[in-house]
């Protein structure tokens, strides 16, 4: 019995790769395995080469590995694209007859996937045949696979469900009779992490649970998944989801709705977020609570629309003209995405500032089995809102010790609600007075920042002061956690909130460390620079990756070995 395997299902867009991967992940989750699955797809609707790679294990997994123990190739191109990713001792399943492949490589195994699919009704069922074969190889029973197939096609119902079930059974029976190996049989143990969640879904669920009632965005990969999930449940929770004409409209709509008293949110990626920068600055100036998710993808410009990067950390920290306070959350798992959404709404309303949630394609679209955290510790808090009996003449931008002034909801009381993007006095009318300018800058920037700094989500610190300390933000949490668990004398800091920066906690965690390395999905080490700027401590190096793909566990392990022993 193996404690862990990785399985890749690969083919061209339109072959049901994601569907097969979802079924496989569900099969493993429900049969006592933990799963972590990444989606790797091209920016096209048909053709090309896509894959989903599912890592399954008896203990929790939180990152991909480079190579797969089993690769199922659903077309000829996938054989060539995938063969280099085969782990030693692994098997690459292909329909050699269908693909016209004569010479099988080492570890390649011919299986009549398309003949079996045809028996079930047609080539479109090849993905379910593959699922059946994988169930036979890795689980040795068909019941869980049958449930996963039924679940996947429940919505489509009738014919599709029956044909896919039949295809899976044919794949299972074929493999049981013809592929006599127990080398891939995977151990199992019951666990309570029953949800299968991607970061985008968890973020959307967090927003829904936090009372977001207006969600507006312009579709842009990889942020669109958040809007899809909110839209799925909009009717149930009384949420209006509005597709904006562009990202500029989206951010201004979110601000307008928030001003009018609703918890509102928008999200984008790359260039779409770039278009939102003026609106971000508007929210800061008008002191309107605003939640924006930035789901990063590689740039510049259009870049890699469907791939991953952490290139926009410095952009998120500085986006928007002028100087103002903001909070930037950098969740590292679906659970943290859920909590970040809830916290972002509270922070935005309590401090009347923009709160950004920085995610990336890898976090947004890879999925894992999880249990959502208890939310009792983060009840919604709307901050200072005037009640229905408020008197007229309340000054919107009244100076206060913490920079936050009570805001009126328009129509609710005699106190009028006011927002002004010009520099303004306490009443919210345009002013050009130097003295007012100084006081308002201090209100919006310094006082609020000081308040935000008192409530930073604490970094996750494992083995403080270890010989090697890794530092990361956002989606590197999983890979750092697993790499450190596997390497003696290694610890890490993960930042679920990167701004305001937790300088004191960072220095405490790094005290006594032999060497400090940042782990970042970008080319320049943006976190390393931030760390130096905010703490005066210069990391010894950075493990960087900027090929548009996420870190694999073995890559980080190899990089750590490559840095040699800590010595200073």
Residue ranges binding another protein (CB under 8 A): 194-197, 201, 205, 208-211, 213-214, 216, 232-233, 235-238, 240, 242, 244-246, 248-250, 252-264, 278-279, 282, 286, 345, 372, 379-380, 382, 408-414, 416-422, 427-430
Q: How far is the CB of 280 from another protein (least distance, A)?
A: 11
Please tell me whether residue 241 adopts helix, strand or coil conformation. Answer: strand
Asked whether 504 and 493 are in contact (CB, 8 A), the reply is no
Q: How far is the CB of 324 from another protein (least distance, A)?
A: 15
Residue 261 or 271 having the CB closest to another protein? 261
Residue 12 or 287 having the CB closest to another protein? 287
Cis-peptide into 500, omega within 30 deg: yes
Residue 236 or 568 having the CB closest to another protein? 236
Cα–Cα distance list, 355 to 5, 45, 280, 332, 345 (Å): 39, 34, 9, 17, 7
Helix axes 334-351, 199-209, angle to 10 degrees: 40
Residue 232 or 547 having the CB closest to another protein? 232
Please tell me whether residue 48 adopts helix, strand or coil conformation. Answer: strand
Q: How far is the CB of 272 from another protein (least distance, A)?
A: 14
Residues 460, 465, 471, 474, Cα dihedral to 10°: -10
Burial string for 273-306 (b: 16+ CB within 10 Å, else e) reads: bbbbbebbbbbbbbbbbbbbbbbbbbbeeebbbb
Largest pairwise CA distance in the chain: 85
| DSSP codes joined into one string, 132-156 | HHHHHHHTS-SHHHHHHHHHHTTTT
**Residue 122 tokens, joined:** 């047609």
CA distance 174 to 247: 51
Q: How far is the CB of 233 from another protein (least distance, A)?
A: 6
Q: How far is the CB of 268 from another protein (least distance, A)?
A: 14
Residue 320 or 550 having the CB closest to another protein? 320
Residue 172 or 214 having the CB closest to another protein? 214
CA distance 322 to 318: 9
Residue 237 or 400 having the CB closest to another protein? 237
Residue 103 or 374 having the CB closest to another protein? 374
Q: How far is the CB of 286 from another protein (least distance, A)?
A: 7
Q: How far is the CB of 523 from another protein (least distance, A)?
A: 33
Q: How far is the CB of 497 from another protein (least distance, A)?
A: 21
Q: How far is the CB of 501 from another protein (least distance, A)?
A: 29
Residue 249 or 477 having the CB closest to another protein? 249
Closest CA to 270 of 366, 362, 360: 360
Cis-peptide into 236, omega within 30 deg: no
């Amino acid at each position: 019995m193996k404690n862990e395997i990785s399985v890749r299902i690969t083919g061209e867009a339109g072959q049901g790769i994601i569907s097969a991967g979802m079924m496989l992940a569900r099969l493993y989750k429900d049969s006592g395995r933990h799963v972590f699955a990444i989606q790797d797809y091209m920016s096209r609707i048909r053709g090309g080469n896509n894959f989903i790679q599912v890592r399954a294990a008896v203990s929790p997994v939180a990152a991909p590995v480079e190579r797969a123990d089993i690769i199922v190739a659903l077309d000829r191109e996938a054989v060539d694209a995938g063969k280099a990713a085969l782990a030693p001792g692994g098997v690459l399943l292909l329909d050699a007859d269908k693909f016209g492949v004569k010479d099988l490589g080492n570890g390649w195994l011919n299986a009549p996937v398309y003949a079996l699919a045809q028996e079930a009704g047609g080539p479109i069922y090849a993905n379910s045949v593959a699922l059946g074969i994988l169930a036979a190889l890795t689980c040795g029973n068909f019941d869980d696979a049958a449930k996963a197939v039924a679940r996947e096609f429940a919505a489509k119902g009738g014919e599709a469900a029956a044909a896919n079930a039949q295809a899976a059974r044919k794949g299972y029976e074929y493999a049981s009779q013809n592929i006599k190996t127990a080398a891939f049989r995977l151990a199992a143990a019951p666990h309570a992490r029953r949800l299968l969640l991607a970061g985008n879904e968890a973020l959307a669920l967090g927003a829904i649970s936090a009372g977001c009632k207006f969600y507006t965005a312009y579709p842009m990969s990889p942020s669109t998944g958040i809007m899809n999930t909110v839209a799925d449940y909009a009717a149930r929770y009384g949420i209006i989801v509005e597709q904006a004409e562009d990202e500029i409209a989206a951010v201004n709509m979110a601000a307008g709705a928030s001003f009018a008293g609703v918890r509102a949110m928008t999200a984008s990626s790359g260039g779409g977020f770039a278009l939102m920068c003026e609106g971000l600055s508007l929210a800061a100036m008008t002191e309107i609570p605003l939640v924006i998710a930035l789901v990063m993808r590689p740039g510049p410009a259009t870049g890699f629309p469907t791939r991953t990067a952490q290139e926009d950390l410095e952009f998120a920290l500085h986006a928007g003209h002028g100087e103002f306070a903001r909070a930037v959350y950098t969740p590292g798992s679906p659970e943290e995405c859920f909590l970040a959404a809830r916290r972002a709404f509270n922070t935005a309303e309590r401090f009347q500032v923009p709160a950004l949630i920085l995610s990336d394609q890898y976090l947004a679209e890879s999925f894992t089995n999880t249990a959502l955290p208890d939310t009792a510790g983060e009840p919604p808090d709307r901050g200072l809102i005037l009640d229905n009996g408020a008197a007229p003449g309340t000054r919107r931008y009244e100076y206060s010790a913490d920079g936050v002034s009570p805001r009126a909801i328009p129509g609710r009381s005699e106190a009028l609600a006011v927002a002004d993007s010009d520099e303004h006095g306490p009443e919210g009318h345009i002013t050009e007075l130097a003295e007012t300018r100084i006081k308002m800058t201090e209100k919006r920037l310094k006082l609020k920042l000081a308040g935000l700094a008192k409530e930073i989500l604490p970094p996750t610190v494992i083995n403080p002061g270890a010989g090697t300390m890794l530092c990361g933000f956002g989606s590197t949490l999983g890979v750092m956690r697993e790499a450190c668990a596997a390497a003696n004398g290694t610890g890490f800091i993960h930042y679920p909130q990167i701004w305001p920066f937790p300088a004191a906690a960072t220095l405490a965690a790094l005290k006594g460390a032999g060497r400090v390395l940042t782990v970042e999905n970008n080319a320049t080490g943006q976190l390393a620079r931030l760390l130096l700027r905010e703490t005066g401590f210069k990391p010894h190096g950075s493990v960087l990756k900027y090929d548009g793909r996420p870190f694999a566990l073995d890559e980080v392990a190899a990089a750590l070995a490559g840095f040699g022993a800590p010595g200073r």
